[in-house]
Amino acid sequence: MGPFLKIQRLGRALMLPIAVLPVAGLLLRLGQPDVFNIKMIADAGGAIFDNLPLLFTIGVAVGFAKDNNGVAGLAGAIGYLVEIAVMKDINDKLNMDVLSGIVAGIVAGLLYNRYKDIKLPDYLAFFGGKRFVPIVTGVVCLMLGIAFGYVWQPVQGVIDFAGHWLTTAGALGAFVFGVLNRLLLVTGLHHILNSLTWFVFGTFTPPGGAPVTGDLHRFFAGDPTAGTFMTGFFPVMMFGLPAACLAMFHEAPKERRAVVGGLLFSMALTSFLTGVTEPIEFSCMFLAPVLYVIHVLLTGLSLAVCSALGIHLGFTFSAGAIDYVLNYGLSTRGWWAIPNGLVYMVVYYGLFRFFIRKFNMATPGREPASADEQTDASTAGGFAVPAAGAALPRAQRYIAALGGAANLSVVDACTTHLRLSLMESNKVSENELKTIGAHGGLKRGSTDVQVIIGPEADIIADEIRTVIAQGGDAAAAAPVAAAKAPAAMVAQRLRQCRLRP
């Protein structure tokens, strides 16, 4: 695995600890005086935010472990505790915050992959295998703690400088972050940028409490200036991108609107409610890149406008309606997000329709039909023929559509899409992937392929890895091949019936 893929893997691993934040935010909000005023509930949510570095350690370690084994998480926790204890003994002014947890997690995950099956001499056999991983992780993190204790001070100075500029640059800093956040989406590296901005940059000390860092953590700690790097996403995700879906629907040929309407409506509703936007963004990114560039610039502009207007909103998961309602009570001028969003709805709808029509862009429903689609027997005569292998488990169907288990070298996933490394990308059947339920795919190179699925992407990736580990590839290939002939025969019969008087 190359360095770039390892960085992508870090982005995916960061999603595991980030996924617990909605629970923390919900508990923290429900316990506040302006909601239920129950201190123990607020403290329960606060405890998660107070231990973010440890949570990131465990999440990243498990995410890096090849089989997501919990031993890697235990090793990461041990390594993190050792690392920060040693650093504080050398220089108690050092504060790596979640970065210390991320480093310890990466170390634990990589060491787990290397030493989980290690054999020791008989008199030390008890400490072999997975039991060896926490031991070696502790030793390595001891050395890292010593190294960081002496070299981290200047690094911390650079990070503090970058964070200070970003958090004090006002609308310009918000614009830069918004643009970079969306540009890095295709690589998965936006999670790393988010982690620095939301959990590291900026410091706030609540009354009677300990200092907290990061835009997200500061917002929930009561910092009235926090939310600069979250607020602008609400007009985009709740209003702009759903309007883009409506524009793509209206620009689809009338005879294909029924086919793409359900897909576009589902993506729009998901974006509005939860702020999960990747299916829409990847559809634009791969089918009409110009539209994605427009979206990137509009996102940066939205963050800049919200910053200039002094609007401060926050979220624990994403900028959807659910987070907006839950966290509105902590916002400053939060109601302004609604009129901003309505303006963005008009802007997105107008720009998307104009560019789609002007440049004949291949948005959903407007893609040129492939040869396979033109001769596809599954819709002959208006009758639906069961898809090949439809009775198979979906993981086996995905494996077959991706060219078989032997064609898959790396199976990974991000929030809404599979990230795959293949032996030969030309063996992928995009039509079959769409039949299974995928929203689309992209061949980014000779071996790298991404398949847009939706929120179930990580679950499906696990299912695919499990089937491959159990040798399920052969079981997938045979029924799919066997089903093609009957499907063709049914189509032929339907054509004959249609020609009869």
For residues 215 and 202, what is the distance between their CA atoms, to the nearest angstrom? 7
Domains of the chain: total: 3
Coil, helix or strand for 70?
A: helix
Last residue of a domain, one of 294, 324, 358: 358
Longest dimension (CA), the chain: 92
Domain enclosing residue 451, as ranges: 377-499
The answer as to whether 179 is a domain residue is: no
Do 328 and 386 lie in one domain? The reply is no
Q: What pLDDT was estimated at residue 472? A: 56
State whether 41 and 112 are in the same domain: yes
User: Has residue 197 been placed in a domain?
Assistant: no
Is residue 203 assigned to a domain? no
User: Does any domain span residue 365?
Assistant: no
Which of 314, 331, 358 is a domain's end point?
358
pLDDT for position 375: 42
What's the pLDDT at 369? 56
141, 245, 414, 497: the catalytic one is 414
Extract the tokens encoding 493. 């019969």
In a domain, 219, yes or no: no
Active-site residue 284, yes or no? no
**DSSP states of 384-419 as a string?**
PPPPTTTTS-HHHHHHHHTT-GGGEEEEEE-SSEEE
Residue 380: per-residue pLDDT: 34
Within a domain: 199: no
| Residue 279 burial class via C-beta count within 10 angstroms: exposed 0-12, middle 13-18, buried 19 and up | buried
State which H helix or E strand residue 442 sits in: strand 440-443
> Could you tell me the mean pLDDT of each successive run of 10 residues in the chain, 501 residues long?
62 80 86 87 90 93 89 96 96 88 95 94 90 96 96 88 89 96 83 89 88 92 93 97 96 88 90 90 83 96 96 93 93 95 97 94 75 41 40 83 87 79 84 80 72 81 86 50 45 42 41
Are 382 and 474 found together in one domain? Answer: yes
Per DSSP, the three-state class of 203 is: strand
At 254 the three-state DSSP class reads: helix
Candidates 286, 172, 157, 279; CA nearest to 229 is 172
